[in-house]
């Protein structure tokens, strides 16, 4: 079954390059963080800029999960660093198909 999560607090502009975050950056961030070690994405992550004035995005991810939703439950409310930002994982309903 799929579980749906959102990651709030990821920067839109990466500090080192000053370039907008893209799908490959998100995949690298997830792969490099131990809390995602046993997580398999069910579809490509989607990136939504929160506001034209803020340098924050919401990343929507769908993961393959057990019937009980145990992987998602273990991720919800986890925090991790992305550059100088602190991102937080939240549970979500089926999310929008945006990029």
Contacts of 44 (CB under 8 A, 6+ apart): 23, 99
Q: Where are the domains of the chain?
A: 2-91
pLDDT confidence tier of residue 95, bands split at 50, 70 and 90: low
Q: Quickly name the fold that domain 2-91 has.
A: Alpha-Beta Plaits (3.30.70)
What SS3 class is residue 76? coil
CA separation for the pair 83, 93 (Å, rounded): 27
Pick the residue with more confidence: 93 or 37? 37
Mean pLDDT of 58-64: 95
* Global confidence as pTM: 0.88
Place of tokens 């998100």: 26
Q: What's the per-residue H, E or C state across 32-43?
A: HCHHHCCCCECC
């Amino acid at each position: 079954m799929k579980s749906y999560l959102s990651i709030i607090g990821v920067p839109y502009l990466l500090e080192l390059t000053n370039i907008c975050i893209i799908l490959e950056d998100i995949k690298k961030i997830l792969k490099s963080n131990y809390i995602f070690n046993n997580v398999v994405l069910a579809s490509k992550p989607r990136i939504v800029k929160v506001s034209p004035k803020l340098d924050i995005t919401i990343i929507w991810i769908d993961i393959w999960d057990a019937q009980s939703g145990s992987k998602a439950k273990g991720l919800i409310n986890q925090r991790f660093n992305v550059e100088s930002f602190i991102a937080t994982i939240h549970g979500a309903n089926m999310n929008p198909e945006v990029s």
